[in-house]
Amino acid sequence: MILKVFLLLKIILSMSPMLMNLSRKYIYLLVTLFSIFFLSACSVRKERTLFYAPSDIVTDTIKHVYVVNDQGISDAYYKIKISDQLAVRNVQNPEFGATLSTGVSGASANNVAAAGTSQNILSFPVEPDGMVNLPAIGKVGVVGLTRREATIKIQDLYKQKLLKDPIIELTVVNLKVTLLGEFGKQGNFLLEKDNTSLIEIIGEAGGITKTADPKTLKIIRGDRSHPEIIYVNLTDINSLASKKLILQNNDIIVLQPTKGSALSEKLQSFNNIVQPLLVVVNLAVLIFTVTR
């Protein structure tokens, strides 16, 4: 496209000295516009970067997994906290207990209703006193317990008071991660089990897009005012061994586009501006030529 523009201008310049003087102004304008565009091209991806951090520069040289502000490895299993939402059901009798149905499977929390995969989970909050109030057995203390520990405790209580050999399934339905950027689907995704890995969530999101740069994935974790940032090179299979890729509640996972795709989008925007200008130039040249 750029070569065509300059060839067109060269032909116009050869038409007459007067036209040459006229065209030089347009040449100067076009050269200025192209210079501004290409000087800014190196920062194109940065303009589109979500949650930019100074350490993002490491993504050009990263080999496996690189961690900034390392907070160490967290507990392997999530412990229930106040305000968590618990869904509880008896597997042997799905119509009994704390759910209206079998729960959610493989759907984004943001897109559950739209996708039609929600089965209308009924959940119960963990109160400020650390208790959850469940049908038939009343209040049960669950704060500080893992999901497995809480499941066993609730199962035993139902067995003592009401059910014969119950099999209880417990899910903390408010645990989620957020995917932004070059993924098949963006939004909030539920952590439905302990030790959910990054690759599992990417698979649930439909993989990465054709324009994604697999070296630029980062996970923003923990305190938002002083977060841990985990950079991942998805092109290196050795990165999959990192324990840092076991996801935690409220992780933000961001994937940037390639420099080429970002530049292409910038060029398209620039082309949308230049094309009308070229039409005006061509029209002026045509009028000048016809009226000589």
| Structure tokens that stand for 126 in this block | 């963990």
- Find out if CATH 1.10.3720.10 is the number for domain 43-75+175-259: no
The DSSP bridge pattern shows strands 65-68 and 176-181 to be unpaired
Please identify which residue in the block is written with the tokens 């890729």.
Answer: 245
Tell me if 67 sits within 8 A of 229, measured CB to CB: yes
Q: How far is the first Cα of the chain from the last one, in angstroms, to the nearest whole number?
A: 30
- Find out if CATH 3.40.190.10 is the number for domain 85-172: no
Q: Where are the domains of the chain?
A: 43-75+175-259, 85-172
pTM of the model: 0.67
How far apart, in whole angstroms, are the C-alpha atoms of residue 232 and residue 219?
8
Please state, as a whole number, how many other Cβ atoms lie within 10 Å of the Cβ of residue 222: 15
14-28 b/e (C-beta count within 10 Å ≥ 16 → b): eeeeebeebbeebbe
3-class DSSP state for residue 141? strand
**Would you report the helix, strand and coil content of the chain in percent, each value rounded to 5?**
40, 20, 40
Render each residue's pLDDT in the chain as its tens digit; 292 residues.
Answer: 444 445 445 544 454 454 445 455 555 555 565 555 555 544 555 666 777 888 888 888 899 999 999 998 887 789 999 999 999 988 876 555 544 433 333 434 443 333 323 345 678 999 999 999 998 899 999 999 999 999 999 999 999 988 888 889 999 999 999 999 999 999 999 998 889 999 999 999 999 999 999 999 999 999 989 999 999 999 999 999 999 999 999 999 999 998 876 556 655 665 676 677 667 767 777 777 777 6
Q: Name the burial class of residue 186, with classes exposed (0-12), middle (13-18) and buried (19+) by CB atoms within 10 angstroms of its CB.
A: middle
Each residue's pLDDT tens digit, 259-283: 876 556 655 665 676 677 667 767 7
Of 243, 240, 190, 189, residue with least CA distance to 214: 240
